[in-house]
Amino acid sequence: MVKAVIFDLDGTVLDTLPDLNACMNEALAQFGCPPVTMEQTRAYVGNGGLLFAARALPEDRRAEAEHFYRDVYCPIHFRCKSERTRPFAGEGACMAALERAGIKRAVVTNKSQRAADELGNTLLAPYGFSAIFGNRDGIPVKPDPTGTLLVLEQLGVPPEKAVFVGDGETDVQTAKNAGMRSVSVLWGYRTKRQLLAAGAECFAETFPQLEKPKEVSVTPPMSVKSSAGRAR
């Protein structure tokens, strides 16, 4: 029986890609580097801001990645008002259904804690997440399970009673490392083929398919698309 659902943020709960792309390109311009496309941004995100910055920089500038990330990109990102960021279709109804079912909900993301908190106070505020856990000093980012396990401890739910929902390979690996089941969503920033290669077994194509996580099992039920489906 599922008692908690842990959600990834970027590409799972919010479509942040347009803002990430705009902020990165403003930072790259200030740093005298060429812009990245939306598709490049899609491929570069998922492992935290520092790696996003390093991947976006030209190869001959990557030794400067930490300085670029902290002193150029982060101030721009923190000023961003998320004007281009949007929730996904059916999201609000799904969160309400989980709440009615008594299922606890939280977010674990590789986005900085400051940026995650700002979204928690704005676009995510209506969903009543019990915790929003972002990238913070002293705790390794996903796929390390430390942050996820800390959130589950806060919720009072053991890993075997929880499901991790995310759109990336990192989320599949985090769930495995934490001893949890996972559901990979197909509206995010990775293809089904990429997720299958990472070991994903359960898939959801829309938010309404997540409204009954108590039915999720290692062999996906009717409410979740199985890995036998067509890879996109």
Token pair 């029986």 is found at 1
SS3 call for 170: helix
On the 0-12 / 13-18 / 19+ scale of CB atoms within 10 A, 206 is: middle
50 within 8 A of 66, measured Cβ to Cβ: yes
60 is catalytic: no
Distance of CA 129 to the CA centre of its chain: 14
Cα-Cα-Cα-Cα dihedral sign, residues 111, 112, 113, 119: negative
Of 73, 78, 76, 81, which Cα lies nearest the Cα of 56?
73
Q: What are phi and psi of 51, to 5 degrees?
A: -70, -35
**Among 10, 4, 6, which Cα is nearest to 168's?**
10
Asked if 103 and 3 count as a contact pair (C-beta separation under 8 A), the reply is yes
Other beta carbons less than 10 A from residue 136's beta carbon: 12
Q: Position of tokens 């996820």?
A: 148
Q: What dihedral angle (degrees, nearest 10) is formed by the CA atoms of 36, 42, 47, 52?
A: 10
Of the candidates 8, 10, 19, 171, the residue annotated as catalytic is 8
Please identify every residue annotated as catalytic: 8
